[in-house]
Amino acid sequence: MKIIGYQTYIVPPRWGFLKIVTDEGIVGWGEPCLEGRTHTVHACIDELMEYLLGKDPRDIEDHWNVLYRSSFYRGGPIMMSALAGIDQALWDIKGKDLGVPVYQLLGGKCRDRVRMYSWIGGDRPDDVARMAKERRDAGFTAIKMNGTEELHFIDDYSKVDAVLERVQAIRDAVGKDFGIGIDFHGRVHKAMAKILLKELAVFNPMFVEEPVLAEHFEVIHEIARYGAIPIATGERMFSRWEFKHLLQRGGIDILQPDVSHCGGISELRKIATMAEAYDVAIAPHCPLGPIALSASLQIDSVCLNAVIQEQSIGIHYNQDNDVLDYMTNKEVFEFKEGYCELLKGDGLGINIDESFMQEQNSKDVRWRNPIWRNKDGSFAEW
């Protein structure tokens, strides 16, 4: 079997896709994207695919090492997101060729279903109690929300009070055993993170995510002392070598690598295994499309330390199209009692609606991060 071609797509709301074609008619799908920089990622895809054309797609480990290690400059969000999409597509091809789900090629399942959570709120969260109750009534047992609006290095306590009021409202609406993930989104600096963790502990959150930006991970151990809350991070880290240093420093309870940014299924599997050796859980980051979600679920299926999976159906970013719009077998993502059954189909287990993909690819999609500023006019982290 040889790779004979490929095609990339950039589609609403903010996703990028890749189709790799073989001479035996088997195609594999990946999701190489980087929110706000997907055009750049696809330029990298073109460079990497120069090597892969004519190669056997089944030699995944060798291809990963060549594409990563043959460049003098390695890693980073652009390179690893491009490599991630290629890696996903190669696993999809191999599973289809052998007639099994990808998780069977990774050692076989260690569970029957995966717990899921749903997003509520928005960038500046509002009416979260009502939305949390709606998700509970729909069968979910956990939600995640952005915790706060923009925060300066030292900011008003009224903003802290607003966070506490929102979380209290959710806890009152859904009860004490419902999971509440609170995403600081890297908007919070160290001093304010200490205050928030201390004040939020009374609500027993499921976790606090990205209490500070990834470039400040050396202070996470310090911040963790201020509240008995599991700390999660990792969506802006891109290789096992970055995660190695994070795990060695301690203070982290849940890693959140993104299968479309961290080098794909191959790399996420290795990160998860390394985390298990440190008694750390994983909860893969995935506010993306159907291929990233299915790839994440393949990892969740085989990793004992996978505790919950993010998914973006109905998230506030999906204004034009949603996850299921790009699939023909939408039923595989019908969650029951807050869980997703393992994907039984060959490869990644989803069928892409190619005609819809082509139609949406004709649109000019240029999603960009919002630009926020503090009251004094200085830049604020989004």
Strands (E), 172-299: 179-183, 207-209, 231-233, 254-255, 281-282
Task: Provide the token pair at 318.
Answer: 């999906």
- Residues 6 or more apart whose CB falls under 8 angstroms from that of 195 comprise 160, 226
Residue type, 159: K
Domains and CATH numbers, the chain: 3-101 (3.30.390.10), 104-347 (3.20.20.120)
Q: Which of 246, 214, 364, 285 is nearest to 34 (CA)?
A: 285
CA distance 343 to 356: 22
The predicted pLDDT at position 317 comes to 87
Helix (H, G, I), strand (E, B) or coil at 345: coil
Determine the Cα angle at 369 with ends 367 and 374, to 5°: 150
Omega within 30 of 0 (cis) for the link into 370: no
Please report, in tens digits, the pLDDT of each residue of the chain (382 residues total): 999 999 999 999 999 999 999 999 999 999 999 999 999 999 999 999 999 999 999 999 999 999 999 999 999 999 999 999 999 999 999 999 999 999 999 999 999 999 999 999 988 888 899 999 999 999 999 999 999 999 999 999 999 999 999 999 999 999 999 999 999 999 999 999 999 999 999 999 999 999 999 999 899 989 998 889 999 999 999 999 999 999 999 999 999 999 999 999 999 999 999 999 999 999 999 999 999 999 999 999 999 999 999 999 988 889 889 999 999 999 999 999 999 999 999 999 999 999 999 999 999 999 999 999 999 999 999 9
| Tokens 């990497």 -> residue | 48
CA distance 265 to 30: 10
- Residues 6 or more apart whose CB falls under 8 angstroms from that of 57 comprise 1, 2, 3, 20, 22, 28, 63, 90, 93, 94
DSSP state of 175: -
Q: Which of 207, 266, 212 is nearest to 239 (CA)?
A: 266
Q: What is the 3-state secondary structure (H, E, C) of 104-132?
A: HHCCCCCCCEEEEEEEECCCCCCCHHHHH
CA distance 191 to 264: 34
Catalytic center residues: 185, 285
